[in-house]
Structure 1
Amino acid sequence: MSDLSASPVIPVNTVTRLADYRVPEFLIEKTHLTFELYEEYTDVSSRLTITRNPKSTKADDLVLHGEQLELRSLAIGERTLHPGDYQITPHSLTVRNVPEQFVLHCTVRIYPEKNTALEGLYCSSGMYCTQCEAEGFRKITYYLDRPDVMSEFETVIIAREGAFSTMLSNGNCLSDTMQDGKRIVHWHDPFKKPSYLFALVAGNLVCLEDHFITQSGREVLLQIHTEAKDHDKCHFAMQSLKKAMHWDEQTYGREYDLDRFMIVAVDDFNMGAMENKGLNIFNTSCVLAHPASTTDAAFQRVEGVIAHEYFHNWSGNRVTCRDWFQLSLKEGLTVYRDSEFSADMNSRAVKRIEDVNLLRSVQFVEDAGPMAHPVRPDAYMEISNFYTVTIYEKGAEVVRMLANILGSERYRQATDLYFDRFDGQAVTCDDFVQCMEEVSGRDLSQFRLWYSQAGTPQLHISDSYDADHQQYSLTVHQHTPATPGQTEKKALHIPLKVALYGNQGALALIIDGQIRDAETVLDICQTQQTIVFEQVAEHPVPSLLRGFSAPVRVFYDYQLDQLQKLILLDSDGFCRWDAMQSLMRIVLSKAIDNKGDHAEQAMLMDTLRRLLTDHTAMDAALLARMLELPGEQYLASLYDKANPPAINQARTQLQHKLATQLQTELMSCYQALQNSASGLSAQAMAARNLRNQALMYLLQIDDTHYRDLAQQQFSQADNMTDQFAALRGLVHAEHARIEAQAALQVFYQQWQHEALVVNMWFQVQATRPWGNVLQEIQQLLQHAAFDARNPNKLRAVIAAFANQNFARFHDSSGNAYQFLAEQIADIDQRNPQMASRLLTPLTHWHQFIDEHASLMRKALESLSQRELSKDVYEVVSKSLNERNVG
């Protein structure tokens, strides 16, 4: 191991802390912005109506945020200010001795064409676009760039006549005129919002229009703006938007408030999408979809992201967060909302499995490492680094737990209270929980620890059965491991949903003489507690954590026959899948640890054979998920010191064994689904998913028949799902390298003009689990279709390799670790946010055996010696020091 003393130390004065929060000293009642777009620069004139905040202490000076701005003029009312009246630093503008109420006039010059960070106002491929969350607005003009300063915005965009067909901003369009050879478009947003929700777009775009009639009878104009070449790929997004609007009215009673709702698709975008009020800006990957060029998984992602950003109109825009420590207030709630929407639109069980897979393989790992932080962090250096799976996905699980504790009816009443009480305000996580308390009458003070305590709780569960008294007992012991900065953990309020299964199915549940439903939620609030079930006529099998009712690890010593019973009988789709994962995990763990696994393998083979033989008896989408082996990253997270080569070898060998011994059943399943329904129905998608899962297994076998099968599917497919599945199967099968090379060439020739499909072509090569992939990665970076400035291309090659190619990224040479560090250092000079997010795999060094951990640390240390952005510096420093920023 390297010397820890060489690790950099985070400068204390750069840290922002929740404990230091103070209300703003000034408020901005109205914001009027004028953008004059020129080819080489943009002039931004602001007129801010400012008042002192009556809730704040009196301040003589006004301090505004601002970065990378050239001040052109500054005035209060009619009085022009001179250099002695103000002070400029690289991050602020201080105006001295301001009155109680005043109008500040300011003009700055910015250079969107040079903005490679894609934050603030930037220009890419001739299109102007903004990204202001979290602190990008301060790169547009001097402002109180904090979420608790909410203002009514008017925006005027001025450009040379004919320069842009589309000039958009938030709210409703007041006018669109021509004057003196210039086009002038005036927008007004009547709803107060913080500056992070500001948006502007100017480009040559085409528009798909539709309308939605709200539950109160208002007609809303819906618009999706794209480049002309992508116009035919917006119809699915439009239908998804209308579904989301209807669902939000029915499920939450939330109606859209403006006259129009606009979406713009942008190819160069750091995030997936942004919920700016009335003008959502989307990464093209999250809005464009067409059956010929889009997979089923991508269709479902588009549907989910469209819904997520629309739902933000209430959970984030109308009610926003007081400060960035409360980020999960809007993101966790909205992720929960979009997850429930997607579950209603597709397979509920499969959606839950997808969410849990992400939590277990990514968020649990984050919670166990040096980057662990609470859902509501205590401190940060760079807020962009806290757009994490903990804030989003674990935050969503916290909301789900509240819904489980309250029940659906009271949860809806509580959210109604929350939206009504805090409409137009910037509030906190505590405000949200307080609404849950008031409606339910329950004391949730212990539950609040979920917001402030980091780490993944562990539930160790044991049981006993008293046949004479027909009593069955579950004893639950909870423990949360220490995390950086939090060594002592308190017991949490954990809703544990359970059912009991006998030989004929679910048993009646009676606790303390009260009859419960077939499944019930147990409130686990103590370090150890025992629950006794009465009148239990046989020794049951417990079905634990049904629907994944809390983001915890459950440890219960299931016997093999108990797991099989749950797999075959459980009515909870998540629990069926989880039991299968447990059975597979037992087999894989014994192989990784070089222990005999004959009985376990036999049970696994028998169970899978029974499911495949009767595959029409269950949801095809769920069965496809049950066929998947646990991922390598998740398997690694189960070890204190994981051995990557051993994990990869065990998983690869089991895949081959399953394919070989079940090939008759797999082939029968594949053929039975060959003529399954086409289209985008949930049933058609499920059939394709199961069919392609069978093909993936068959391609594990070195047999020309199965390679021919894949080639035939590749060439004859009438949809991208089947074509790409065949391509991926060939590329990832080492014995199919000749067929794969030919398919890759055909695929690129066919789709080279579709940027999103080319990204898939990059990704399938970057994730190939065999051979010298790093050398191929280097070649892909030189490919004519690769653009290092485009975040989607970086994700398709570098992020896909580091995050999804476990075997090759963790090659024992350590070359991949150093490669990633070098790429991050290069990207950091252009786009710090992207560079910081690409760092994640290296931050997991503590998970692995010393041979790998030391090489990963070495790569991080090489980064620490460079001049880094604040974004990357924070992650590198915390990863090396293994302590919180605070």
Structure 2
Amino acid sequence: MKLDAATPQPIYLKDYTPPAFLIDQVDLTFELDEEATRVTSRLVLHRNPAHPDRGAALRLDGREMTLESLRLDGVALEADAYQLDEESLTIAAVPDTAILEVVTLIHPELNTSLMGLYKSNGNFFTQCEAEGFRKITYYLDRPDVMARFTTTIVADRAKYPVLLSNGNRVGDGQFDRNRHWVKWVDPFRKPAYLFALVAGRLGKVEDSFVTASGRAVALEIYVEPHDLDKCAHAMNSVKKSMQWDEQVFGLEYDLDSYMIVAVSDFNMGAMENKGLNIFNTAYVLARPDTATDTDFDGIEAVIAHEYFHNWTGNRVTCRDWFQLSLKEGLTVFRDQEFSADMGSRAVKRIEDVRTLRTHQFAEDAGPMAHPVRPDSYIEINNFYTVTIYEKGAEVVRMYHTLLGREGFRRGMDLYFKRHDGQAVTCDDFRAAMADANGVDLTQFARWYSQAGTPVLRVRGHYDAAARTYTLDVAQSCPATPGQPTKLPFHIPLVLGLVGPDGVDLPLRLEGEPAAAAGSRVLDVTEAEQRFVFVDVAVEPVPSLLRGFSAPVKLDYPYSRAQLVHLMAHDSDPFCRWEAAQTLLLQDLNGLIDAARAGRPLQLADDVVAAFRSMLADTSLDPALTALMLTLPAESYLADQQQEIDPDAIRTALNFVRLGLARGLRNELKQTYSRLNDGAAYRFTAADVARRSLKNVCLAYLVELDEPALVELAQKQYRDASNMTDAYAALACLVEREAGDEALAQFASKWADEALVMDKWFALQASSRRRGTVEHVRALLEHPSFQLTNPNKVRALIGGLLARNLAGFHRADGSGYEFAAEMILALDKLNPQIAARQVASFNRWRKLEPNRRAAMKAALERIAAESGLSRDVYEIVAKNLQ
């Protein structure tokens, strides 16, 4: 990659300086128009005493707009009084207090980036996080500038009857013969990234919620009129979230109304704008016949996440974008806890760990590795990552583990008491946790500053004569870009000792009084530590990292017999699932090596026997059984290899899948028949669990490719009364020729349902059948596909690049050529979505030599393109360094 003077430059955390000015009040007027929208802003400013230069100029962020006029304290500024470039407006001579009036023209209908103000299906929407507000008007677009916003929207009444913004609605009226206006006032200070505006022809679903203090809050969900019948679950999720936050954290909602708007063209899942959350339709719209259990779960979780942001992100926000995990990691932890309370805590925990291991561990091991609090970035959009969100949530969870439920709540209470209405840092959150509990968390700060996934090496020794069990624990962390060496982390290691009878033994360390059986937390703070448990009557099997108590890789030499024992008896559901996964991984890694070497493949008998016993245990939560039967993802297996051969990984997985199906045929069929009871659809934890196990059993059975078993899937597809069962059956059929007819019927039936068609695209893009690259390329021409729609891109292009390891990494390099072509096309439309696809190249250095060379060539093709966005440039550059 050739670097020149135009190369985007990094922004560094160490260079943070408080803003030269602060803004007290913002008055915005939008005159929405088809040709051009006029935005008038009135900023009440004052110099920031915390800024080191008392004479600093006022520099406002802004791009892709036309400046019409500029007035300072009522006086129009001539062109020589300010400087204007592609990214900013600078005024040198500004008094300590001032009122600045700015009028700009913008063109939302041309805004394909979906950042700032844009149009979708004839309606206006905004997305301002992280730096979209600067595409609306000139402003101090940084999170530590918090102001009170008043917004007046003027628009054609017939075309845009609904006019929404942040806060409380305080007035409306007729502007002229054709246009009307609505005025909104947000009484709470907020940074510009939380601003929102929506205008259009939308339907509304209404409800209400009474807070613990007796305040009535109007609840409103706005969608396109034909989707009004898909909002009941979303509305119920809002009310459950509000009640949970009051009960668990004592946090009430603070405005007169809480509004959600669903839009089909949206870069993210949803956005927490104060009082007016804007959502991707995928996380609002659901009916049993159009949405799966996974969709219903996702809607409930994302609605909770955005609602919880009202306090952890809005009332207290981040000082700068390096602190992004302050709000996102904390709020992900909160939504995880909410979901665990709404359903199965064990299943939720395992699902979250699978996401972390499959995606975040890979990020930690690649060129985009960064700490939870990054040191630098070129484009902030690239740091909305699984490290910031999911690993950030694990860091918050470790506070909870170390301090306990009550201690964590004390820390949260102090955090809000100290910082309500402020923009703060990760260190401020850590200080609140430490001070509220009188503990030293200085070493814990390394979780924010050091990248990489620590490895916890544990070895155990039982001394029968002394009745002691000794654990030697060593921690290390591999080098990551810019961080060759790492200091020891503060790691909470939760463990139990399982006796031969399957019962937990007491856990008493040397020098301690008597202890109860169960789990306990060990503080691992040194590179090497020894823990000696006394009065251990029999040799135990250690149950380590219970509940996945830290985001680390565990290195413990479990024997196969020990893993089978833990699968059958561990009282911790996560460790029970982990034992099953570890047993599978031991065989899968050996099978991958055999497939690469051309040796015969064989599945161990004890694996089949262990899974047979598990299936026979009807006391287990069916959802947990389903998870234990689910094989690791191809991408997760790839991360376990020194050198990746995607074909060998797929061969090994297919072999294990077929071997388990053959070995468990009778048990799978019996379980499927028992659970396939034809009951009406209900979204309850018990019903979701039964459907999940039933459909996992069906998937295994169809692998046998026997006509009678394939007919089971065809019958389920034909008879299904809900999308969960229909989609599960279609997913089985799509891998065989019998699926072609079902796919055609599915597309015909659901052609007018965009979200359902996204499932159709995704299923084909992730298929194990041959020729997927060519098939995906052909589907680009399908009338339901639009390259400008992020959901469609994620479903079809992302389905191939991110969720089809062997299909994307074709030996002929056609997958890489397709990816480069799509990334370059997307970069001209929507750089943020283009950059997400570049992440599929992050493993290229670990591939076998031929694929490695082809993937590098594709990266170099992207790098050679002139005018690359900062979003794509940053990821490509780091891959080629």
Q: Do they superpose with TM above 0.5? A: yes
| Aligned residues of 2:20 and 2:56 also touching (Cα < 8 A) | no
Change (3 A) 1:134 1:10: farther
Q: CA deviation at 1:161?
A: 2.7
| Aligned residues of 2:20 and 2:57 also touching (Cα < 8 A) | no
Is the partner of 2:262 in helix, strand or coil?
strand
Query: Would you say 1:444 and 2:416 are equivalent positions?
Result: no
Query: Counterparts of 1:315 and 1:271 in 2: how far apart (Å)?
Result: 18
Query: Counterparts of 2:839 and 2:435 in 1: how far apart (Å)?
Result: 40
Output aligned runs, 1:259-658, within 5 Å.
259-504=256-501, 505-512=503-510, 513-517=512-516, 518-594=518-594, 601-614=604-617, 616-658=618-660
Residue in structure 2 matching 1:718, options 697, 718, 721: 721
Query: Counterparts of 1:469 and 1:707 in 2: how far apart (Å)?
Result: 59
Q: CA deviation at 1:846?
A: 1.9
For 1:775, the equivalent position in structure 2 comes to: 774
For 1:3, the equivalent position in structure 2 comes to: none
Give structure 2 stretches of 5+ with no counterpart: none
Q: CA deviation at 1:442?
A: 1.4
Query: Counterparts of 2:4 and 2:706 in 1: how far apart (Å)?
Result: 56
Name the aligned partner's letter for residue 388 of structure 2. Answer: I
Judge which range, 342-351 or 686-695, deviates more.
342-351
Query: Would you say 1:81 and 2:77 are equivalent positions?
Result: yes
Is the partner of 2:460 in helix, strand or coil?
strand
Q: CA deviation at 1:13?
A: 6.5
Query: Counterparts of 1:565 and 1:231 in 2: how far apart (Å)?
Result: 51
Q: CA deviation at 1:179?
A: 2.8
For 1:21, the equivalent position in structure 2 comes to: 16
Query: Counterparts of 2:584 and 2:662 in 1: how far apart (Å)?
Result: 16
Output aligned runs, 1:20-39, within 5 Å.
20-39=15-34
Residue in structure 2 matching 1:100, options 96, 101, 104: 96
Name the aligned partner's letter for residue 807 of structure 1. Answer: A
Output aligned runs, 1:785-824, within 5 Å.
785-824=784-823
Name the aligned partner's letter for residue 636 of structure 1. Answer: A
Q: CA deviation at 1:163?
A: 2.0
| Aligned residues of 1:8 and 1:877 also touching (Cα < 8 A) | no
For 1:884, the equivalent position in structure 2 comes to: none
Higher relative contact order (CA 8 A, sep 6+): 1
Query: Counterparts of 2:284 and 2:138 in 1: how far apart (Å)?
Result: 32
Query: Counterparts of 2:822 and 2:600 in 1: how far apart (Å)?
Result: 42
Is the partner of 2:360 in helix, strand or coil?
helix
TM-score by length of 2: 0.98
Query: Counterparts of 1:850 and 1:880 in 2: how far apart (Å)?
Result: 16
Spell out, residue by residue over 1:292-350, the C-alpha distance to the aligned partner (whole angstroms, 9 max, x if none).
11000010000000000000000000000000000000000000000111111111111
For 2:687, the equivalent position in structure 1 comes to: 684
| Aligned residues of 1:369 and 1:844 also touching (Cα < 8 A) | yes
| Aligned residues of 1:266 and 1:282 also touching (Cα < 8 A) | yes
Query: Counterparts of 1:480 and 1:8 in 2: how far apart (Å)?
Result: 32
Q: CA deviation at 1:843?
A: 1.6
Q: CA deviation at 1:538?
A: 0.8
Query: Counterparts of 1:523 and 1:216 in 2: how far apart (Å)?
Result: 40
Is the partner of 1:262 in helix, strand or coil?
strand
Query: Counterparts of 1:192 and 1:495 in 2: how far apart (Å)?
Result: 37
Query: Counterparts of 1:847 and 1:229 in 2: how far apart (Å)?
Result: 48
Output aligned runs, 1:650-799, within 5 Å.
650-675=652-677, 677=679, 678-732=681-735, 736-737=736-737, 739-799=738-798
Name the aligned partner's letter for residue 163 of structure 1. Answer: K
| Aligned residues of 1:116 and 1:789 also touching (Cα < 8 A) | yes
Output aligned runs, 1:150-299, within 5 Å.
150-181=146-177, 182-299=179-296
For 1:40, the equivalent position in structure 2 comes to: 35
Is the partner of 2:204 in helix, strand or coil?
strand
Q: Write out the 4+ residue segments of structure 1 that deviate beyond 4 Å after TM superposition.
A: 6-13, 595-600
Query: Counterparts of 2:8 and 2:295 in 1: how far apart (Å)?
Result: 43
For 1:69, the equivalent position in structure 2 comes to: 65
Judge which range, 275-284 or 70-79, deviates more.
70-79
For 1:138, the equivalent position in structure 2 comes to: 134
| Aligned residues of 1:10 and 1:877 also touching (Cα < 8 A) | no
Name the aligned partner's letter for residue 642 of structure 2. Answer: D
Q: CA deviation at 1:851?
A: 2.0
Root mean square deviation of aligned Cα = 1.3
Name the aligned partner's letter for residue 633 of structure 2. Answer: G
| Aligned residues of 2:8 and 2:870 also touching (Cα < 8 A) | no
Q: CA deviation at 1:60?
A: 4.3
Name the aligned partner's letter for residue 697 of structure 1. Answer: Y
- Percent identical across equivalent pairs? 51
Q: CA deviation at 1:613?
A: 2.2
Judge which range, 6-15 or 516-525, deviates more.
6-15
Change (3 A) 1:150 1:109: same
Query: Would you say 1:126 and 2:129 are equivalent positions?
Result: no
Change (3 A) 1:10 1:593: farther
Give structure 1 stretches of 5+ with no counterpart: 1-5, 882-886
Is the partner of 2:187 in helix, strand or coil?
strand
Q: CA deviation at 1:746?
A: 1.0
Is the partner of 1:752 in helix, strand or coil?
coil
Query: Counterparts of 1:668 and 1:492 in 2: how far apart (Å)?
Result: 48
Query: Counterparts of 2:700 and 2:4 in 1: how far apart (Å)?
Result: 49
| Aligned residues of 2:591 and 2:601 also touching (Cα < 8 A) | no
| Aligned residues of 2:603 and 2:659 also touching (Cα < 8 A) | no
Query: Counterparts of 2:712 and 2:500 in 1: how far apart (Å)?
Result: 42
Query: Counterparts of 1:773 and 1:655 in 2: how far apart (Å)?
Result: 21
| Aligned residues of 1:475 and 1:530 also touching (Cα < 8 A) | yes
Aligned residues: 871
Query: Would you say 1:846 and 2:845 are equivalent positions?
Result: yes
Is the partner of 1:463 in helix, strand or coil?
strand
Query: Would you say 1:826 and 2:825 are equivalent positions?
Result: yes
Q: CA deviation at 1:96?
A: 2.2
Spell out, residue by residue over 1:25-65, the C-alpha distance to the aligned partner (whole angstroms, 9 max, x if none).
10000000000001111000000000001111312421100
Spell out, residue by residue over 1:483-522, the C-alpha distance to the aligned partner (whole angstroms, 9 max, x if none).
0100011011000100000022110111132344510011
Query: Counterparts of 1:559 and 1:107 in 2: how far apart (Å)?
Result: 71
Is the partner of 2:508 in helix, strand or coil?
strand
Query: Counterparts of 1:116 and 1:69 in 2: how far apart (Å)?
Result: 14
Name the aligned partner's letter for residue 255 of structure 1. Answer: E
| Aligned residues of 2:603 and 2:656 also touching (Cα < 8 A) | no
Q: CA deviation at 1:597?
A: 10
Q: CA deviation at 1:598?
A: 9.4
Change (3 A) 1:401 1:597: farther
Is the partner of 2:440 in helix, strand or coil?
coil
Query: Counterparts of 2:843 and 2:505 in 1: how far apart (Å)?
Result: 43
Q: CA deviation at 1:382?
A: 0.4
Query: Counterparts of 1:608 and 1:426 in 2: how far apart (Å)?
Result: 51
Name the aligned partner's letter for residue 631 of structure 1. Answer: A
Name the aligned partner's letter for residue 708 of structure 2. Answer: H
Q: CA deviation at 1:643?
A: 1.5
| Aligned residues of 1:222 and 1:261 also touching (Cα < 8 A) | yes
Query: Counterparts of 2:855 and 2:349 in 1: how far apart (Å)?
Result: 33
Is the partner of 1:447 in helix, strand or coil?
helix
